[in-house]
Amino acid sequence: MIDLADLLAASAQVSAAPGGRAPDAVAVGGLGDPGTVLLSGPGTGSGPESLDAHLDRWAGLPVLDGAQVLALLRAGGLDGRGGGGFPLARKVAAALASGGPPVLLVNASESEPASAKDATLCACRPHLVLDGAALVAAALGVDHVVVHLHRGAGAPVDGISRAVAERRGGGHDVVAWTVSLGPDRYVSGEASAIAGYVHDGDARPRFAMAPLAVEGPTGRPTVVVNAETVAQLGVMARIGPRAWAALGTGGSPGPRLLTVAGAVDRPGRVVELVGPGTVGDVLAGTGCTAAPAAVLVGGFAGTWLSGDEAWQAPYERSALACLGAGPGCGLLGVLPHGACALVETARIVGYLAGESAGQCGTCVAGLPRLASAMSSLADGTFRRRGLRRIETLGDELLGSGACAHPDGVVRLVRSTLEVFRDDVVRHLAGEQCRGADHPPVLPVPVPHPAGAGPRPQEHFS
Amino acid sequence: MTTVVRIDPTLCRGHAICALYFSDGVEIDQWGFGRVVEPTLTTRRAVRKALRAAAACPNGAVVVTEHGEAVPVGADHPTDTAGW
Ligand code: SF4
Ligand code: SF4
């Protein structure tokens, strides 16, 4: 048993992180590349790392009791990596304070279509995910963990299932594992939708008066934690919270996983950023030689930044917040010069409108209208007073739903109108769009027709 | 004491009846769906109105809680339609 005090003291003496790296060194790399931490080890194509290989590289997981895990989370300042960025220590503390045995769910479903970081971890480093999940279970005092993935995900499901079987066989953990497979829809990755699906098989978000960590669909406090977040904890427990935090920046402790999409050398590639890097450092590590036209930061429900602004921006929560953006799910979508952001955004909004779970009136009525407004803005058939309509729709959609889906779409639309004001003016004036003939840049799935498609219940049951 | 009122958007069907009983506390959007302006109720008058709106909503979409516990609505909060 490792004493947490020892762990803290030991890590305080390690001024630089493992491998003797200089404190300000920046590394950007994919699976198996030098300088990476979570992605260190075998390269792409090697499949899920076995338990033996994992333990060879990382040694055993320190045995910590609940209070020690909570202290570790607080000392490291681990923030949620699924999108919200909520500190895990506060979630755990809220669940413990709410009474009743908590429910622990690991969200490995990664519903963001362009993002692949959680899928990569589950497919290639599943034991790091399970290690961290076991620690959160200890913090919550629970002996059962549900890992939730999308049914059709393939390699991530295989990776986690194999890892769970290995651990069961060797009696490796005190916790029991359940692998849950749910429908592959955008909002079914929302925390209350996952908690609800595991409880009663309905994967739509739930309205609740209390936060999940206080009272979930079962009536018990429910902690839903992202797969990367727990994998980070698996690293932190071994190297200590200070050394772990030093792999990031003051504003964003720890290493960060990102997915790059659009105009990069390998779209869809997952990279890890270690050290105080900028968005430009990440893009330079993925084949961009100069600032692109723009970067979509944080996911489809994220924020556009102009290429120059993004290139300089430190990739950390506080710095991005100053620009009105956030790391979100870790997506960087690169728009090349010559492509039209209005066209790209219209495709995304069209897809997102079709992903409404069809439960809340304003979301059901408002999102398709917002989508059609954005598509007529993109194809130049839009009139000036339409802008006021977009504004009104945005006000009505914000905060209107049981989940934050409408809010995310409004955020994307508003950042588009702000960052690409000149293009909006050109489109309104009926000028020929520069990017009309450009092939699609971001990997936006074909939208489900809103209203015209199958009933939501059919998708979600 | 904290009394909180919210409209469950998954139940609201846009009748706007809540606004008849709680006009200063509920906003109705262009489709008729209700939204609570300020969920935390600070006066007894506001609590009474919110409970009337809750009793009147045909879908049971208006939820009032006190200290996190749901307040039952019905006979104690008569509305114009309650005597039918
Ligand atoms: S806000 Fe939209 S996506 Fe969210 S639960 Fe309601 S209908 Fe579904
Ligand atoms: S009365 Fe009920 S269903 Fe009608 S708008 Fe108000 S909350 Fe919605």
Atom 4 of ligand 2, nearest CA residue: B15
Q: Is the minimum CB–CB distance between A401 and chain B shorter than 8 Å?
A: yes
Q: Following DSSP, what letter does each residue of B1-36 receive, concatenated?
A: --EEEEE-TTT--S--HHHHH-TTTEEE-TTS-EEE
Q: Is the minimum CB–CB distance between A396 and chain B shorter than 8 Å?
A: yes
| The pLDDT of residue B57 | 94
Considering only CB atoms, which chain B residues are within 8 Å of A362?
A: 9, 29, 31, 33, 35
Q: Is A328 helix (H, G, I), strand (E, B) or coil?
A: coil
Task: Tell me the ligand closest to B25's alpha carbon.
Answer: 2
Instruction: Output DSSP code: residue A278.
Output: B
The total of other beta-carbon atoms located within 10 Å of residue A385's CB is 7
Å from CA of A449 to ligand 1 middle: 16
Q: Is the minimum CB–CB distance between A101 and chain B shorter than 8 Å?
A: no
Which helix H or strand E contains A257, and what residues bound it? Answer: strand A256-262
Q: How confident is the model at residue A215 (pLDDT cuts 50, 70, 90)?
A: very high
Cα torsion through B47, B51, B53, B54, rounded to 10: 140
Atom 8 of ligand 2, nearest CA residue: B12
Provide ipTM, 2 decimals.
0.87
Helices (H) then strands (E): counts for chain A: 19, 10
Considering only CB atoms, which chain B residues are within 8 Å of A401?
A: 9
- Contact between A456 and A358 under an 8 Å Cβ cutoff? The reply is yes
Å from CA of A414 to ligand 2 middle: 29
Least confident of A5-14, A286-295, B59-68: A5-14
Closest CA relative to residue A151, chosen from A191, A103, A197, A196: A197
State the first-to-last Cα distance of chain B, in angstroms, to the nearest integer. 33
The dihedral built from the CA positions of residue A62, A67, A69 and A74, taken in this order, carries a sign that is: negative
| The pLDDT of residue A456 | 39
Angle, helix A341-354 to helix A421-428, in steps of 10 degrees: 90
- Contact between A74 and A96 under an 8 Å Cβ cutoff? The reply is no
The pLDDT tens digits for B33-68 are: 999 999 999 999 999 999 999 999 999 999 999 988
Which numbered atom of ligand 2 lies nearest the CA of B62? 7
Domains of chain A with bracketed CATH: 4-20+45-245 (3.40.50.11540), 256-335 (3.10.20.600), 341-428 (1.20.1440.230)
| Residue from A202, A360, A392, A460 whose CB has the most chain B CBs within 10 Å, to mutate | A360
Instruction: Output DSSP code: residue A20.
Output: G
Q: A344: distance to nearest CA of chain B, Å?
A: 28
Whether the predicted pLDDT of A449 surpasses 70:
no
Whether the predicted pLDDT of A394 surpasses 70:
yes
| Residue from A98, A207, A367, A457 whose CB has the most chain B CBs within 10 Å, to mutate | A207
Rounded to an integer, the average pLDDT of A319-327 is 95
pTM of structure: 0.91
The pLDDT tens digits for A98-154 are: 988 999 999 999 999 999 999 999 999 999 999 999 999 999 999 999 999 999 899
Half-sphere exposure at residue B38, Cβ-oriented, CA atoms within 13 angstroms: 10
Whether the predicted pLDDT of A39 surpasses 90:
yes
Whether the predicted pLDDT of A12 surpasses 90:
no
Q: Provide the β-strand partners of residue B70.
A: B65
Q: Chain B residues contacting A, CB < 8 Å?
A: 4, 6, 8-14, 29-33, 35, 63, 65, 68, 70
Q: How confident is the model at residue A172 (pLDDT cuts 50, 70, 90)?
A: confident
Whether the predicted pLDDT of A360 surpasses 90:
yes
Taking CA atoms, what residue in B is nearest to A210? B68
